[in-house]
Structure formats: C-alpha cells, structure tokens
Amino acid sequence: MSELLQTTINTLAVGGLYALIALGYTLVYGILRFINFAHSDVVAWGGWLAFTVAGAAGWLAEDGAPVFAVVLVVIATMGLCAAIGVTIERLAYRPLRSAPRLNVLITAIGVSLFLQNVGLKLFGNRPRSISAGTALIRNNEPIAAFADVRILRFDVLPIVLSVALLIGLQWLVYRTRMGRGMRAVAFDERVASLMGVNVNRVVTLTFGLGSALAAVGGILFALRVDLQQTAEAAWVVLGLKAFVAAVVGGIGNVRGAAAGALLIAFVEVFVHTYIVKAFPGRLWIAQLQDIYVFGILILVLLFRPSGLLGKSSVEKV
C-alpha cells in the first residue's frame, strides 16, 4: 500500500516535469504543424541559465537560498528562455513558414545542434550540481513522511509548479482572447488571419510560452539530477520522453500533453520500481528503459496516431 502511494507520488512528480516540456512541443505542433526539435535544447538552456543566474547572484552558497530567491531565479530563467524561443522562431522558422515540412524539420535540427554546441562553449562541458550540497533550495527534506512514503520537497515542487502552470495555460487558451486566437490559428491559419487574428503575434506568443515552460522543466530536471552538459544525451532523452508524452496524449492538445505525460511517467516509475529492482544486476534491463520510450512511440504511431485525447483527421487529397 505504501509502495503504491510512493509510486503515485513519484509518478506525479515526474509526470509534472514531463508535462511542462510536453506542452512546449504540443503547443508548437498545434499551431505550426511541426515538431520543434530544438525544444529539448531550450530545456537544457533553462537548467544552465538558472545555474548561471543563481551563481551570479551568489545564491549557490552552502547555506542555500531563501524562497523568494528561488522564485526570482525561476522567473528570470523563464524570461530568458522565452526570449531564446522567440528569437529562434523569428530567425529560423518564420522564413520557412510556407516551406515544405521537411525543410523546417532539417532547420530545427540545425537550430538544435547550434544551441547544443553554443551551450557547450558557454557553459562548459563538465556536469554541475544545482542542488544538494550547494543548495539552491534548502535541503531536500521530506515534507511529510509516513509509513514508508517520503514526500520530498523536490517532489512537491514539480507537482505544484506544473499544476499551477497547467491551470494557468488552460485559462489562457480557453478563456482569453489571445487563447482564442491560438486555437483559431491551430484550426486553420489562413482563415484565422482573415478573421483578424495576428498570426505572427500568436506564433511568437506560443514559442515564448512553450520556451518559458521548458525553462521550468529544465530547472526541475536539474534539481533532480546533476546538470549535464548541453550536448549530453540526457537532455535529448528527456525531450524525447516529453515528446512521446505529447504524442501519446494527442499532439496539439493541451490536456492530452498532461495525460500523456502522466502515462509515460507512470510507465517509467513502474518499470523502475517493479522491474528493475526485481532483477538487480541485470544491466540490460536498465538499458531497456530508453528503448521502451521509443517502443511506446512506435506502437502509438502505428495503432492510434492521433493519441489518447486527439481527434483523428482524415487526409484529404
């Protein structure tokens, strides 16, 4: 019973993290119909920028930092990453708005490589720690512990943050004029512009939002594991899991991203808790953890390409 509870909490925490990043993918895909390969690199930059900002402000000292400092760092990083996202859109994607999808995909790969390698140069290639000993947040103590269940601060943070941001996004997309514009552009770009929606502004907002969320995702991820260098596979795998979450939930669909993220997180936690621990020392099962993500993606794309919450669209000739 307590293990079940622990699993649930872990799932929610990891799922929240994935959801934040998956939203970036799904928002961009919904509006522009392309997969922003560079998104996982914005996530990486989010983590590193937070580290840099916190370091510059002297908050990475041994005794940790007050809560308001954390909030400031997060907000600052969100702003910086939003700027990055908007710039990428403006310089690399906007000129190709009417180009074949393949070209945009290749460009996205180019942007991704660019971000990775510039990040490598800027931030160095040694992994750093943003948490634990040099505490950005004061120790990762259990907030509550009963039976065998430990709710860590680092678990609560993603859950709270992602729920809050998801609710905020839901409000934005469904209750504001701008959100209506986003939904209109996602539905049909040309007609939306005929109806007076400023498509460029909508696209800019989407990229900014997605990147800001990615920044939070990057920070949360960096709090869990050491900050790996930007060209490191860890970020690509993270981005890929989030992308699979978006696809599984139904890409282009905000709630779908959240649902997909929970599902992927659940599978991951489940595999880790029950399968990996049951066969200790069997290294190949740990390797399988990366494979299962692709396996899920391939299965979903083959059998239910529109995802769990997506609407299937028929391709008309």
Partner 1 sequence: MKSLQERVAALRPSLPAALGRSALPFLIAIGLAYLIDAAIGPAIGATWRKILLDVGIAILLAGSLNIVNGYAGQFSLGHAGFMLVGGYTAAWLTFYGGIHWFGVKGTYGGFLGAGQLLFLGSCVLGGLVAAGFGALVGLPSLRLRGDYLAIVTLGFGEILNRLVQITDRQPKRVEDVQGRSLFELANNLGGAESFSQIPGYTTLFFVYVFAFVLLVFAYRLKYSSRGRGLLAVRENEIAAEAMGVDTTRAKVVAFVFSAFWGGVGGALYAHQISTLSPGELSFQKSIDIVLIVVIGGMGSITGVVLGAAILVILPELAREFADYRMIVYALALVVVMILRPQGIMGVRELWDTSPWRRLVQRLRGGQP
CA distance 196 to 193: 5
Burial 46-84 (b: 16+ CB within 10 A, else e): bbbbbbbbbbeeebbeeebbeeebbebbbebbbebbbeb
Nearer to partner 1, 222 or 300 (CB): 300
Q: Which two tokens stand for residue 195?
A: 């109806």
Cβ(279)–Cβ(250) below 8 Å? no
Residue 129 has phi, psi (to 5 degrees) of -115, 130
Q: What are phi and psi of 13, to 5 degrees?
A: -65, -50
Distance in angstroms (rounded) separating the CA atoms of residues 211 and 46? 9
The size of the chain, in residues, is 317
For residues 17 to 56, the per-residue mask of contacts with partner 1, x marking binding by CB under 8 A and - elsewhere, is -----------------xx---------------------
194 or 317, CB closer to partner 1?
317
Range in contact with partner 1 (rule: CB under 8 A) among 67-75, 138-146, 154-162, 283-291: 283-291
Tokens of 249: 């939930």
Nearer to partner 1, 104 or 197 (CB): 104
Nearer to partner 1, 3 or 290 (CB): 290
Under rule CB under 8 A, residue 117 binds partner 1:
yes
**Which residues on adjacent β-strands are paired with residue 253?**
none
Using the rule CB under 8 A, which residue among 11, 26, 116, 162 binds partner 1? 116
Least spacing, CB of residue 98 vs partner 1, in Å:
12
Query: What is the Cα–Cα distance from 229 to 133, expressed in whole angstroms?
Result: 19
Instruction: Tell which positions 54-83 bind partner 1, by CB under 8 A.
Output: none
Cβ-based nearer residue to partner 1, 37 or 59: 37
Residue 284 in contact with partner 1, rule: CB under 8 A = yes
In the bound state with partner 1, the residue whose beta carbon lies nearer, of 88 and 223, is 88
* Count of residues engaged in binding partner 1, rule: CB under 8 A: 42
Query: What binding mask, one character per residue, do residues 91-110 give for partner 1 by CB under 8 A, x or -?
Result: -x--xx--x-xxxxxxx-xx
Binding partner 1 by CB under 8 A: which of 22, 43, 111, 214?
Answer: 111
Smallest CA-to-CA distance from 295 within 275, 311, 271, 312 is with 271
Buried b (16+ CB within 10 A) or exposed e, 85-114: bbebbeebbeebeeeeeeebeebbeebbee
x/- string (CB under 8 A) for partner 1, residues 247-266?
x-------------------
CB 94 within 8 A of CB 28: no
Binding site for partner 1 (CB under 8 A): 34-35, 92, 95-96, 99, 101-107, 109-114, 116-118, 121, 233, 236, 240, 243, 247, 283-284, 287-288, 290-291, 293-294, 297-298, 301-302, 305, 317
